[in-house]
């Protein structure tokens, strides 16, 4: 497989790729660096890259002002449960679309995607009124349901494309052996689809984690996740770059770390059926 | 009625999923307070434990940036969502919400609280039909903050009540692009509470107004053209780069870095520019906002105030909190811990009778500015609305945020001032028609 | 091959997802349609419990005739197209590069994907304040270092700035999908072409690009869905000023700033129509490409 390449070309590739990678990553790096500066150093002209007095005071200030762990916990629960729930509902749907396709399968898929095009602001009032009626404003349950619904089309589609890659003959064979539908899914299909399901979970966890409209507008104190945490640091009075950076770093760090550890999985699985 | 009931009832289909979701948590003694992320509010949050220790009432803060806060609390109050026990709102919202019966009247505050001590200008702006609906946490007008050293170097002297012509002249004289010093920093940022507030207050001093007595938009008048042209010319000549996106915070940080000669903005900024974060704290002077000799200064009147939405179950606890946060004891506690310059200003008469506070360099000028703003009579020509830098009608926020976007686009050079004014006129007329004026 | 039994089983299995999404689509849509024919000004004391005044198509005609409508549609399309072009072009190049053998490939890949993990609000805040601020932003420092006048990005070049920010967020996504597609390319075919002396550009145009067609369609489809409704990036950076008001943002202004729910709902219906036009257009292409 490995293409033979001169080491000179490899060197050029490496240099170029690293350069571009660093440029793309730079805004994040800069935010993290700035979070360890004092406010004065954060806006110093010329900018200071590494040789400043590293300090943790911004993190201390941010933590003192708002209880980070509570926001974090809400984010974890809301993103996690909504994703799990979404996948649980989507697996059977995607399975049947992939293995028992009908004429309408593709239409249904595309229709599902099109529900994502509803502009959220346009329906804020209806949803808000419904939430009041149901008494689920500012609850995790409410947000879990909304985020699950928002991401469901993407989940169904991703799973559908993975399932489609699984050769139908295997299922036929299993059926011949007298496997029930349940065990067919459980023992034959699922193991083969694990990489796909894993990357679906990952991607949708990220999407749910970063969702900033519903999470902000349907919460107050109890269910507010990290997106609300950030909203209290966005433009306070006075110098704020360092504190903003600290809050930003705290908000993105968990997902960044998760993403890094699972990037292989994500790279392998994130195809949306683009590869055949 | 029933159709809508059914409509919403049908949505309970969603409730299938939600199931037993809505377990209402017992929150007998926890107040949820929505507030803006301004310095004085953040400081108040730090003292919350004192309140809880005193009363046994726990407090949950929802601290949001101003625009997010507005959107959040407005949605909740108009739908009777009941998410908050106390909301931080301003002089614009209070009379409108009060008139709709959405706020708990604050007419039975305790004798120790002494509601009569609230500055009359503030109490007036936070009342509807003579009933107080929100208690001011701090109040502000606007004034000139300027660098005494740069003014002296320019060979000029700031009068106590300067004219706009003087400001433009001084700004030009103080500007030194090589040293990165801009003669004057003003709000150009879109948003009715940002650049919109500034240009409206400024227009008052130029004899302009938003509406005539029959609610006709007035952007086609010469007074408005003069206002916006004067602003743009002065800022192009002596303002900072990109002033069209500068709001309060941006200007504050410019001023604190020594990059502004003059800054006309909220009086509360005085404690920041003379505070520890400022590199120019020792050389700041204050003067009344400029005028054009027409009898009106370009200063506004605003208060951030605490109000109790009518939907809350905990009005009594909420009142206790409001009395604690906006009372004189709180002011003294902050003064004892952090110095008089850091107490929330502009809310109480007694503060300005306190010799300790009057020793603070900006105290007198703040009071003078507040006293010279008149929300019931804000303009040279008569107007049908109340409010200095806003018109207290429900439609104003929406209209003014779009109008100020047109102005900002003109500041940035994307359109001419005339085009911006023509669009402003069209937007305002359109919206007022839609609202049925 | 599917039996009747498996067909009905399939239907049962699809039911939860379909019903839920149907509800999620129909309930708000019905309410939006309902409000769009009503005068609903909550700040004027209108309450849905008390009944709302029926105004026919007034909201629709008002929204359409507003001077901000067509510019908002144009802005929406410019942002979507701009981001699509940038992410797809750069994404292809980046994917090609990342596919080459190199040292530390894993780390580079991590660096490239990272922006995808950042919340839109955070990335907008970081770009706005720490990069594009004309006084303290890093770009301003850079410009001054080279003796140039700093650019007030968000006011003088608001649309390009927003496109840059959004592209930065979505480039990783495009790169990832395109990279997976390239990796699945038959390398023998490429090598053969290389042996035959086909120049790199030709190899790209005749072998790689056609192979990527499907992946590119997917990238376009998914991104369009998300880009049509971008909100946080505009809310944080310009607040809709300087010609950066998209249709979504205009609706936001009508609903939340002006508190005119009827008018905003009518705008919502227009947005749905626009989204569907785009969707039909997209699905024409995708549908073709999705066929097995």
Q: Is residue A157 part of a domain?
A: yes
Q: Is B359 on the interface with C (CB under 8 A)?
A: no
| Residue-wise DSSP of chain A | -PPP--HHHHHHHHHHHHHHHHHHHHHHHHHHHHTTS-HHHHT-SSPPSS-S----HHHHHHHHHS-HHHHHHHHHHHHHHHHHHHHHHHHHHHHHHHHS--TTHHHHHHHHHHGGGS-GGGGHHHHHHHHHHHT-TT-HHHHHHHHHHHHHHHHHHHHHHHHHHS-HHHHHHHHHTT--HHHIIIIIIHHHHHHHHHHHHHHHHHHHHH--SHHHHS-SSSS--HHHHHHTTSS-SS--HHHHHHHHHHHHHHHHHHHHHTHHHHHHHTTTT---
Q: What CATH architecture applies to the domain C39-290?
A: Orthogonal Bundle (1.10)
pLDDT tens track for B353-379:
999 999 999 999 999 999 999 888 999
Same-domain check for residues A209 and A141: yes
Q: Is residue A145 part of a domain?
A: yes
Q: Is residue B339 part of a domain?
A: yes
Same domain, A20 and A93: no
Interface test with B, best of A77, A220, A244 (most B CBs within 10 A): A220
Mutation for A interface: C92, C104, C117, C262, most A CBs within 10 A: C117
Cβ–Cβ gap C155/B245 under 8 Å: yes
**To the nearest whole percent, how much of chain B has pLDDT over 90?**
79
Nearest to A227 by CA among C118, C230, B71, C225: C118
Asked whether residue B16 is assigned to any structural domain, the reply reads no
**Domain limits for position B41:** 28-133+302-363
The predicted pLDDT at position B424 comes to 96
d(CA B191, CA B405): 7
A267 to chain C, closest Cα gap in Å: 6
The span from the CA of B85 to the CA of B98, in Å, is 15
Chain A residues whose CB is inside 8 A of the C24 CB are 115, 149, 152
Find all residues with CB under 8 Å of B414, minimum gap 6, and list them: C155, C242, C243
| B255 CB burial (10 A radius; 0-12, 13-18, 19+) | buried
- Average confidence (pLDDT) per 10 residues, chain A, 276 residues: 68 93 95 91 82 89 89 95 94 85 80 79 86 92 94 89 79 74 73 82 91 90 91 73 92 90 73 62
Neighbours of chain B (3+ CB pairs under 8 A): A, C
All residues of chain B having their beta carbon less than 8 Å from the beta carbon of residue A138 are: 83
Question: pLDDT 10s per residue in chain C (292 long)?
Answer: 456 667 787 788 888 888 888 888 888 888 889 999 999 888 888 887 778 889 889 999 989 988 889 999 999 999 999 999 999 999 999 999 998 888 888 889 889 989 999 999 999 999 998 999 888 889 999 998 898 888 888 888 899 999 999 999 999 999 988 988 888 877 777 778 777 877 888 888 888 888 888 888 888 888 988 898 888 899 888 888 898 999 999 999 888 888 888 999 999 999 888 888 887 787 776 666 655 4
| B-proximal residues of A, 37-56, CB under 8 Å | 39, 43
The residue of chain C nearest to residue A247, with distances taken between CA atoms, is: C122
Q: Which residue of C has its CA nearest to B65?
A: C236
Cβ-nearest to B253 among A66, A133, A238:
A238
For residue B15 the two structure tokens come to: 């409730």
Statement to judge: residues A159 and A216 lie in one domain: yes
CA distance B132 to B392: 16
A233 neighbourhood in chain B, CB within 8 Å: 37, 65
For residues A17 and A129, membership in a common domain is answered with no
Would the CB atoms of B64 and A135 count as touching at under 8 Å? no
Interface membership of C19 toward A (CB under 8 Å)? no
- Chain C contact present for A141, CB below 8 A: no
Say yes or no: B205 and B344 in one domain.
no
Work out how many CB contacts closer than 8 A connect A with B: 116
Query: Is any Cβ of chain A less than 8 angstroms from the Cβ of B277?
Result: yes
Residue B252 sits at the chain A interface (C-beta within 8 Å): yes
The answer to whether position B420 is within a domain reads yes
CA distance C273 to C71: 17
Residue B137, SS3? Answer: strand
Q: Determine, yes or no, domain membership for A254.
A: no
Whether residues A122 and C218 touch (CB distance < 8 A) is answered with no
In the prediction, which pLDDT does C292 show?
43
Structure tokens at B65: 């940036």
Q: Which residue of B has its CA nearest to C237?
A: B245
ipTM score for this prediction: 0.88
The whole domain housing A36 covers 7-60
- Same domain? For A52 and A93 the reply is no
B174 shares a domain with B122: no
- Residue B333 belongs to some domain of the structure: yes
By the CB < 8 Å criterion, does B313 face chain A?
Answer: no
Q: Are residues B415 and B335 part of one domain?
A: no
Question: Is position A156 within any domain?
Answer: yes
CA–CA min distance B255, chain A (Å): 10
Residue A272 located in a structural domain: no
Phi, psi dihedral angles at C196 (to 5 degrees)? -65, -5
CA distances from C61 to A118, C58, C245 (A): 21, 5, 20
CA distance to partner chain A, nearest, from residue B381 (Å): 35
Instruction: For residue B163, give the 3-state DSSP assignment.
Output: strand
Phi, psi of B302 (to 5 degrees): -150, 150
Same domain, A90 and A204: yes
- Give how many domains chain B has, as a whole number: 2
All structural domains of chain C with their residue ranges:
39-290
- Residue B185 sits in the same domain as residue B307: no
Query: How many domains does chain A fold into?
Result: 2
Same domain, B173 and B209: yes
Same structural domain for residues B116 and B81?
A: yes
Residue A77 and residue A192 in one domain: yes
Which of B15, B34, B39, B44 is the best substitution to test chain A (most A C-beta atoms within 10 A)?
B15
- Residues B54, B86, single domain; the answer is yes
**pLDDT under 50: residue ranges of chain B:** 1-27
CA gap B362, B384 in Å, rounded: 33
Is residue B309 located within the same domain as residue B276? Answer: no
CB of B252 less than 8 A from some CB of C: no
In a domain, A255, yes or no: no
Assign residue A166 the CATH number of its domain: 1.10.3720.10
A160 and A209 fall within a common domain = yes
Do A117 and A24 lie in one domain? The reply is: no
Sequence-ordered list of residues with C-beta below 8 angstroms from that of A248, at least 6 positions apart, any chain = A31, A35, A230, A233, C122, C125, C126
Q: What is the mean pLDDT of chain B?
A: 90
Are A268 and C271 an interchain contact pair (Cβ–Cβ within 8 Å)? no
pLDDT at C287: 63
A220 shares a domain with A173: yes
pLDDT score at B276: 85
Rounded to the nearest 5 percent, the helix, strand and coil shares of chain B are 50, 15, 35
- Burial (CB < 10 A; 0-12, 13-18, 19+), residue C185, is middle
- Hey, is C201 helix, strand or coil? helix
Please indicate, yes or no, whether residues B155 and B251 belong to a single structural domain of this protein. Answer: yes
The CATH code of the domain that includes B44 is 3.40.190.10
pLDDT for position C135: 82
Can you give the pLDDT at residue C4?
Answer: 65
Q: Let me know if residue A16 belongs to a domain.
A: yes
pLDDT score of A268: 67
User: 3-state DSSP call for residue B184?
Assistant: strand
Same domain, B210 and B237: yes
Same-domain check for residues A110 and A225: yes
Query: Could you tell me if A28 and A94 lie in one domain?
Result: no
| Same domain assignment for residues B256 and B396 | yes
Is residue B415 within 8 Å of residue B406, measured between CB atoms?
yes
- Is C41–B435 a contact, with Cβ atoms under 8 angstroms apart? yes
CB atoms inside a 10 Å sphere around CB B337: 12
- Decide if A273 is inside a domain: no
- If asked whether residues B41 and B72 sit together in one domain, one would say yes
């Amino acid at each position: 497989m490995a293409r033979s390449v001169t080491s000179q070309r490899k060197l050029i590739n490496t240099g170029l790729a690293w350069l571009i990678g660093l440029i793309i990553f730079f805004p994040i790096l800069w935010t993290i660096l700035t979070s360890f500066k004092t406010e004065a150093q954060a806006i110093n002209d010329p900018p200071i890259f590494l040789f400043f007095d590293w300090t943790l005071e911004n993190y201390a200030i941010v933590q003192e002002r708002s209880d980070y762990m509570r926001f974090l916990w809400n984010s974890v629960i809301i993103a996690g449960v909504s994703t799990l729930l979404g996948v649980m509902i989507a697996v059977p749907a995607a399975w049947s679309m992939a293995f028992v396709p009908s004429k309408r399968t593709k239409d249904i898929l595309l229709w599902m995607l099109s529900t994502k095009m509803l502009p959220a602001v346009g329906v804020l009032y209806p949803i808000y009124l419904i939430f009041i009626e149901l008494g689920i404003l500012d609850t995790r349950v409410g947000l879990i349901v909304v985020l699950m619904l928002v991401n469901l089309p993407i989940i169904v589609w991703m799973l559908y494309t993975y399932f489609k890659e699984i050769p139908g003959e295997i299922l036929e064979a299993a059926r011949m052996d007298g496997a029930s539908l349940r065990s067919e899914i459980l023992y034959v299909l699922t193991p083969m689809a694990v990489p796909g399901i894993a990357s679906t979970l990952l991607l949708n966890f990220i999407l749910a984690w970063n969702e900033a409209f519903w999470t902000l507008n349907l919460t107050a104190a109890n269910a507010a996740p990290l997106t609300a945490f950030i909203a209290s640091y966005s433009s306070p009075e006075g110098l704020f770059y360092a504190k903003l950076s600290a809050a930003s770093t705290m908000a993105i760090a968990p997902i960044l770390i998760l993403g890094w550890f699972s990037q292989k999985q994500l790279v392998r699985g994130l195809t949306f059926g683009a590869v055949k | 009625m029933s159709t809508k009931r059914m409509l919403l009832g049908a949505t309970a289909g969603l409730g299938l999923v939600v199931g037993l979701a809505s377990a209402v948590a017992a929150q007998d003694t926890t107040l949820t307070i929505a507030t803006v992320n301004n310095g004085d509010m953040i400081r108040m949050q730090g003292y919350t434990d004192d309140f809880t220790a005193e009363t046994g009432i726990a407090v949950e803060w929802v601290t949001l940036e101003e625009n997010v806060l507005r959107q959040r609390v407005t949605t909740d109050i108009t739908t009777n969502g009941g998410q908050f026990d106390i909301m931080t709102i301003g002089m614009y919202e209070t009379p409108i919400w009060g008139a709709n019966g959405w706020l708990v009247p604050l007419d039975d505050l305790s004798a120790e609280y002494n509601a009569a001590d609230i500055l009359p200008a503030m109490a007036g702006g936070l009342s509807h039909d003579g009933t107080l609906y929100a208690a001011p946490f701090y109040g502000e007008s606007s004034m000139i903050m300027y660098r005494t050293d740069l003014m002296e170097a320019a060979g000029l002297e700031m009068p106590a009540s300067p004219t706009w012509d003087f400001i433009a002249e001084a700004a030009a004289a103080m500007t030194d692009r090589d040293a990165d010093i801009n003669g004057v920093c003003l709000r150009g940022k879109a948003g009715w509470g940002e650049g919109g507030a500034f240009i409206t207050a400024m227009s008052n001093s130029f004899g302009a107004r938003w509406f005539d007595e029959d609610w006709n938009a007035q952007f086609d008048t010469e007074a408005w053209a003069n206002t916006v042209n004067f602003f743009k010319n002065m800022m192009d000549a002596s303002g900072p780069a990109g002033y069209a996106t500068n709001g309060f915070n941006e200007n504050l940080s410019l001023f604190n870095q020594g990059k502004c000669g003059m800054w006309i903005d909220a009086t509360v900024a005085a404690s920041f520019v003379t505070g520890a974060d400022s590199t120019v704290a020792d050389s700041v002077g204050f003067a009344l906002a400029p005028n054009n000799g027409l009898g009106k200064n370009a200063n506004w009147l605003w208060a951030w105030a605490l109000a109790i939405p009518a939907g809350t179950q905990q009005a009594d606890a909420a009142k206790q909190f409001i009395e604690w946060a906006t009372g004189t004891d709180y002011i003294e506690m902050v003064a004892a811990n952090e110095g008089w310059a850091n107490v929330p200003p502009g809310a109480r008469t007694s503060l300005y009778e306190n010799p300790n506070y009057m020793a603070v360099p900006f105290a007198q000028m703040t009071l003078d500015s507040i006293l010279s703003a008149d929300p019931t009579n804000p303009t040279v020509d008569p107007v049908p609305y109340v409010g200095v830098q806003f018109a207290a009608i429900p439609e104003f926020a929406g209209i003014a945020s779009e109008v100020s976007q047109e102005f900002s686009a003109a500041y940035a050079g994307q359109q001419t001032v005339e085009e911006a004014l023509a669009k402003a006129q069209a937007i305002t007329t359109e919206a007022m028609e839609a609202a049925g004026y | 091959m599917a039996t009747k039994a498996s067909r009905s089983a399939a239907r049962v299995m699809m039911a939860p997802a379909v019903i839920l999404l149907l509800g999620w689509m129909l309930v708000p849509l019905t309410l939006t349609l309902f409000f769009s024919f009503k005068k609903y000004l909550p700040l004027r004391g209108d309450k849905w419990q008390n009944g709302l005044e029926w105004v026919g198509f007034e909201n629709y005609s008002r929204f359409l005739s507003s001077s901000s409508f067509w510019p908002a549609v144009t802005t929406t399309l410019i942002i979507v197209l701009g981001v699509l072009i940038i992410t797809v072009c750069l994404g292809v190049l980046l994917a090609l590069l990342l596919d080459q053998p190199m040292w530390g490939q894993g780390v580079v890949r991590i660096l490239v994907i990272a922006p995808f993990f950042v919340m839109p609000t955070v990335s907008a805040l970081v770009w706005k304040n720490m990069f594009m601020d004309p006084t303290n932003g890093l770009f301003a420092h850079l410009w001054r270092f080279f003796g140039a006048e700093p650019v007030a990005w968000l006011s003088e070049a608001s649309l390009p700035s927003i496109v840059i920010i959004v592209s930065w967020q979505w480039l990783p996504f495009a790169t990832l999908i395109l990279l997976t597609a390239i990796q699945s390319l038959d390398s023998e075919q490429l090598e053969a072409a290389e042996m035959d002396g086909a120049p790199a550009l030709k190899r790209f145009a005749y072998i790689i690009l056609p192979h990527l067609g499907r992946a590119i369609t997917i990238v376009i489809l998914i991104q369009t869905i998300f880009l049509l409704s971008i909100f946080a990036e505009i809310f944080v950076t310009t607040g809709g000023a300087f010609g950066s008001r998209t249709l979504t943002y205009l609706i936001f202004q009508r609903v939340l700033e002006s508190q005119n729910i009827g008018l905003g709902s009518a705008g919502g219906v227009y947005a749905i129509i626009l989204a569907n036009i785009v969707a039909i257009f997209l699905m024409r292409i995708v549908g073709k490409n999705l066929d097995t």
